[in-house]
Amino acid sequence: MAKVEITVNGVKHAREVEDRALLANFLRDELGLTGTHIGCDTSQCGCCTVHVNGQAVKSCSMLAVQANGAEVVTIEGMAKNGALHPIQQAFTECHGLQCGFCTPGMIMAVAGLLKDNPNPTDEEIYHGLEGNLCRCTGYINIVKAVKRSAELLGGK
Amino acid sequence: MEHHLLEVGGVRVSRREDLRLITGAGKYAADWELPGQLYAHFLRTDRAHARIVSINVEHALEHPGVVRVYTGADAVRAGYVKPMTMLTFKGKSGMQVRVPERPVLAHGHVRCVGEPVAMVVAESALIAQDAAELIEVEYEELPVVIHPEDALAPGAPQLHENVPGNLPFEFEAGDAAATGAAFAKAAHVTRLKLEVTRVAPNPMEPRACLMAYDAREDRYTAHVHVQGVNMMRKQLAAYTGLPEEKFRIMARDVGGAFGQRSLAYPEYCVQMLAAKDIGRPVKWVASRSEGFATDSHGRANFVSGELALDRDGRFLGMRLDWIAEMGAYLTPTGPVSHLRNPSTCLTGVYRIPALYGCWRTALTNTNPIAAYRGAGRPDIAYVIERLVSQAAAETGVDAAELRRRNFIPPEAFPYKTPTGSTYEIADLPGVLEKALKLADWNGFRERRRRSERAGKLRGIGISTVIENTGAGLFPKDEVQIEVAANGAVTVYSVSHSQGQGHETSFAMIVAETLGVPFERVQLRQGDEEHPLFGNHTGGSRSTVGAGSACHLAAKKLIDEGRALAALELGVEPSQVEYANGRYRTDHAERTVALGDLAKAKTFSVTAEGSFSSTFPNGCHIAEVEIDPATGVTEIASYVTVDDCGRVINHTIVEGQMHGGVAQGAGQVFGEHVVYDRNSGQLMTGSFADYYMPRAGLLREITMEEHPTPSKVSPLGVKGMGESGCTASLAALTNGVLDALRPLGVQHLDMPLTPAKVWHAIQAAQRKN
């Protein structure tokens, strides 16, 4: 067991965790933040993507102890004061989700993508979403949502 | 397309359900928690076919934190051994289906890799997982049979004593003699042997179930993903021999299903044993690896097809010899959907005077097959449309023209097909011409020349399809509508969305019928406090069935409210008019709102309807470009013209089409569940090994609608959730083959991976 202090969505949490506990399980099981989904066990699907110190990370590929002292943002921390984050707004406007299971991870991954590249081309979007699987939408509307997010974030 | 946005709580959204799903507030199966819950882990066999000599669970039981371990003996003792089958009709020569036993934990034998042999229940999921590794199972390996043709051959290893020849069911449709006669006078016969590959449905949510038992009520509560609570309840009851009222099914958000999540899997029944014995809820969350091995697979059909044509390119007859692989056991939906749906639409969109199909189901040492988006419909459409395009190529007739020449003409509808189904209505030439124009069919040669100049191979593929939407497991669909005193309208349905957006489209139907604002109407799906009769979401039937029942219930609400309003207004019901949520009469100034009728007591109605199949149809045209140096295929354009009747919500329909076509493209270009033919080991057991479509595979779909009115539903709708899958397999494959045919390649089976295409090009070039 190991002691960790992790700040999640601005709130500091001190917990004792199993050494092998994954950050994804810590968020879901310890903190009850079930918006972070686990869709695979080989780190391909991206459903569990969160931000660790400002970087998009698949939380299944990181131990909770590795996040000790880190600032983590999950999907639950994206909307502020009752207002949707522009990427959340873009996903619903463009019908970029159906069952919604991949959506939190998608939104967190897109936030990471647009932070590095605020105006991506189509090819850059495809590349940027390589690590996030969706089974419902065929991705067409997700790609539109990424472009719309870029517009909204750019204040257009 | 610009989406029409709705206002919900001051936010602009495409769908009512979006708000919770984009903020992480959805509630999926693994998100349920109950106080005192224990955790289950399944030990799964790594053998494809073996006799279980012994199981030693002693060390697992000694592991700290372990509460109990279950094995096949417990399953057999409980009598949880025989799953439900939905196959109720008779087969060839009156044959009854032979359903093999499948104890919910393997007993005596294991018959496919991944089959659960023991369940550990412990204080945490990790403890249960650790302890499962301490279980010792001794096996005596048995010969393995993986390919269904091998399984049906004489001398094949036998899987089940009560299924001689590994043939649980044989079925035929059409007229063998008439078809034989048609072939005898044919000027040309096209023959293809096709594999509709085995694929993994892979909804993004892994399977999970939290099972609780209430001793006081002697009732189980299953928190699990469903496509409809009734379908899950019926199967759990059938598997365990308990009455249906012993089950309460709790489900909120479902992270994709595609037919795979309509099943009551054996694991849930094992959890029932533990929840009752131990008296604490038992939670199990599957890993994706478990999912690949044990969530039902789809398709897996092996078909030899022949199409007979006369001198003018008119179809005279078609004959199919179809092997439907079933895996090691029969699922409730696998055999029925892979036989009934293809036989219902055996004639496709064509007037073919003579038809004959023979279906043999085959058991193999593989994971069981069940319905997967389309459930036999994409399979039959793929077979027919491959045959037709092949015939066009062989006879030198344009692929669109050959279709045009053989369509069932609009005036022939309702059309009684030679296999006994009745297609309600379609305008096939209209659909085709619109699609040809949209795809610029005539400009293809020029585009091909341009590709050639760039060193690329270009092909155009077409498919024109029709499919029967599901008539349903239950003969009717019920919907309840309840009005609150503040005018809020709550709609209850059995049909359960797995991403289709029922909360939006059903609320739209009710709001429109009642003439009240959309914001005022809420849908509750599978609410166990409001038990209703009716079908799950499957077979593209939800808007046709539950959607229509929503409309009928709203109309019934208006009518019943009229009588109540008349009393309040002191007039005859005939003197009361209803509009936009309010009753009024010429004889009084006062009006009565719907909510006013709920002031004294709940104002609620339940309406029902029986809805048979609708026949959505369409034409998809795919243009592809292949780089011969790498074998990589790009989808250059994709056009759809579909007739799904009246559309309730265009955004949702467009999304369904995108998703369906992408699943088809996934199967065409890469998806394939592969078992090693000698050992029976699963070679594609994770997302690291199994191809999944990713962003960029399908860049854009150009869509148009070509509706003809259906009378099956009072809304005029036809189902369309599976249309994208049904049409895309053949459209894309035909496109690739059209690109390769000039090199001499006549046939390839899916998946058309870069390696397969490259090798085909190399082989063809060597020959040339």
Supply B138's token pair.
Answer: 């001794």
Nearest C-alpha in B relative to A142: B695
Report the C-alpha gap between A126 and B699 in whole angstroms: 10
A142 CB neighbours in chain B (<8 A) are: 695
CATH 1.10.150.120 domain span(s) along chain A: 86-153
Nearest C-alpha in B relative to A127: B695
Correct CATH for B477-609 of 2.60.40.1930, 3.10.50.40, 3.40.220.10, 3.30.365.10: 3.30.365.10
What is the ipTM metric for this complex?
0.98
Whether chain B has a CB inside 8 Å of the CB on A89: the answer is yes
Cβ separation A88–B22 shorter than 8 A: yes
Report the C-alpha gap between A100 and B205 in whole angstroms: 9
Q: Closest by alpha carbon to A132, among A57, A37, A46?
A: A46
Give contacts of B 195-224 with A, CB under 8 A: 201-206
Supply B457's token pair.
Answer: 């191979």
B39-94 pLDDT, tens digit each: 999 999 999 999 999 999 999 999 999 999 999 999 999 999 999 999 999 999 99
Distance between B225 CA and the closest CA of chain A, angstroms: 12
Peptide bond into B414 cis (omega under 30): yes
Q: Check if B37-142+205-255+260-294 and B477-609 are the same fold.
A: no
Distance between A12 CA and the closest CA of chain B, angstroms: 20
A93 CB neighbours in chain B (<8 A) are: 3, 5, 12-14
Report the C-alpha gap between B575 and B585 in whole angstroms: 6
Nearest C-alpha in B relative to A141: B655
Q: What's the pLDDT score for residue A156?
A: 60
B671-725 pLDDT, tens digit each: 999 999 999 999 999 999 999 999 999 999 999 999 999 999 999 999 999 999 9
Report the C-alpha gap between A137 and A100 in whole angstroms: 10
Give the nearest partner residue to B687 out of A79, A107, A133, using CB atoms. A133
Distance between B683 CA and the closest CA of chain A, angstroms: 15
Report the C-alpha gap between B567 and B561 in whole angstroms: 10
A36 CB neighbours in chain B (<8 A) are: 24
Report the C-alpha gap between B390 and B368 in whole angstroms: 32
Distance between A92 CA and the closest CA of chain B, angstroms: 5
The answer to whether B400 touches B327, Cβ cutoff 8 Å, is no
The answer to whether B356 touches B161, Cβ cutoff 8 Å, is no
B256 CB neighbours in chain A (<8 A) are: 98-99, 101, 135-136
Give the nearest partner residue to B204 out of A47, A79, A88, using CB atoms. A47
Which of A38, A61, A101 has the most B C-beta neighbours within 10 Å, making it the best mutation to test the interface with B? A101
Nearest C-alpha in A relative to B254: A99
**Four-residue CA torsion sign, B639, B645, B648, B652:** negative
The answer to whether B583 touches B576, Cβ cutoff 8 Å, is yes
Helices A140-153 and A86-93: crossing angle, nearest 10°? 140
| Assigned CATH class of B298-470+613-767 | alpha beta
Cβ separation A45–B288 shorter than 8 A: yes
Q: What's the pLDDT score for residue B214?
A: 98
Taking each continuous run of H as one helix and of E as one strand, the counts in chain A are 5, 5
Cβ separation A84–B692 shorter than 8 A: no
Q: What's the pLDDT score for residue B290?
A: 98
Cβ separation B694–A36 shorter than 8 A: no
Whether chain A has a CB inside 8 Å of the CB on B126: the answer is yes
B701 CB neighbours in chain A (<8 A) are: 138, 140
Nearest C-alpha in A relative to B200: A135
A53-88 pLDDT, tens digit each: 999 999 999 999 999 999 999 999 999 988 999 999
| Cβ-proximal residues to B38 (8 Å cutoff; 6+ apart), any chain | B67, B121, B122, B123, B274, B278, B280, B281, B282, B283
Q: Closest by alpha carbon to B334, among B365, B302, B368?
A: B368
Q: What's the pLDDT score for residue B2?
A: 59
Q: What is the dihedral of CA B97, B103, B104, B106, to 10 degrees?
A: -120
Helix (H, G, I), strand (E, B), or coil: what is residue B739? helix
A92 CB neighbours in chain B (<8 A) are: 11-15, 18-19, 22
B242-295 pLDDT, tens digit each: 999 999 999 999 999 999 999 999 999 999 999 999 999 999 999 999 999 999
Report the C-alpha gap between A96 and A85 in whole angstroms: 15
Domain ranges of chain B: 37-142+205-255+260-294, 298-470+613-767, 477-609
Q: Is the pTM of this model over 0.80?
A: yes
Residue A94 DSSP class: T
Q: Residue B524, exposed/middle/buried by CB under 10 A (0-12, 13-18, 19+)?
A: middle
A45 CB neighbours in chain B (<8 A) are: 204, 288, 687
Cβ separation B22–A91 shorter than 8 A: yes
B655 CB neighbours in chain A (<8 A) are: 95, 98, 136-137, 141
Q: What's the pLDDT score for residue B637?
A: 98
Cβ separation A99–B651 shorter than 8 A: no
Superfamily of domain A2-77, CATH level 4: Beta-grasp domain (3.10.20.30)
Cβ separation B17–A100 shorter than 8 A: yes
Nearest C-alpha in B relative to A133: B694
- Tokens 């063809």, residue? B764
Give the nearest partner residue to A107 out of B17, B22, B253, using CB atoms. B22
Q: Residue A103: which pLDDT band, with cuts at 50, 70 and 90?
A: very high
Whether chain B has a CB inside 8 Å of the CB on A18: the answer is yes
Give the nearest partner residue to B659 out of A36, A84, A137, using CB atoms. A137
Supply B392's token pair.
Answer: 């066009």
| Cβ-proximal residues to B307 (8 Å cutoff; 6+ apart), any chain | B189, B190, B315, B317, B318, B387, B388, B390, B391
| Assigned CATH class of B37-142+205-255+260-294 | alpha beta
CATH 3.10.20.30 domain span(s) along chain A: 2-77
Whether chain A has a CB inside 8 Å of the CB on B659: the answer is yes
Q: Could you say which residues of chain B have pLDDT below 70? A: 1-2
A134 CB neighbours in chain B (<8 A) are: 204
B181-210 pLDDT, tens digit each: 999 999 999 999 999 999 999 999 999 999
B456-467 pLDDT, tens digit each: 999 999 999 999
Give the nearest partner residue to A42 out of B25, B288, B696, using CB atoms. B288
Peptide bond into B751 cis (omega under 30): yes
- Tokens 């003018």, residue? B312
Cβ separation A122–B699 shorter than 8 A: yes
Supply B710's token pair.
Answer: 């259906």
Distance between B209 CA and the closest CA of chain A, angstroms: 15
Distance between A5 CA and the closest CA of chain B, angstroms: 22
Q: How many residues does chain B have?
A: 768
Cβ separation A101–B661 shorter than 8 A: no
B698 CB neighbours in chain A (<8 A) are: 138-140
Q: Closest by alpha carbon to B24, among A88, A137, A141?
A: A88
Nearest C-alpha in A relative to B497: A99
Give contacts of B 12-31 with A, CB under 8 A: 12-15, 17-28, 30-31
A1-30 pLDDT, tens digit each: 999 999 999 999 999 999 999 999 999 999
Helix (H, G, I), strand (E, B), or coil: what is residue B92? helix
A132 CB neighbours in chain B (<8 A) are: 695
The answer to whether B536 touches B262, Cβ cutoff 8 Å, is yes
CATH number given to A86-153: 1.10.150.120
Helices (H), B454-534: 502-514
Give contacts of B 479-518 with A, CB under 8 A: 498-501
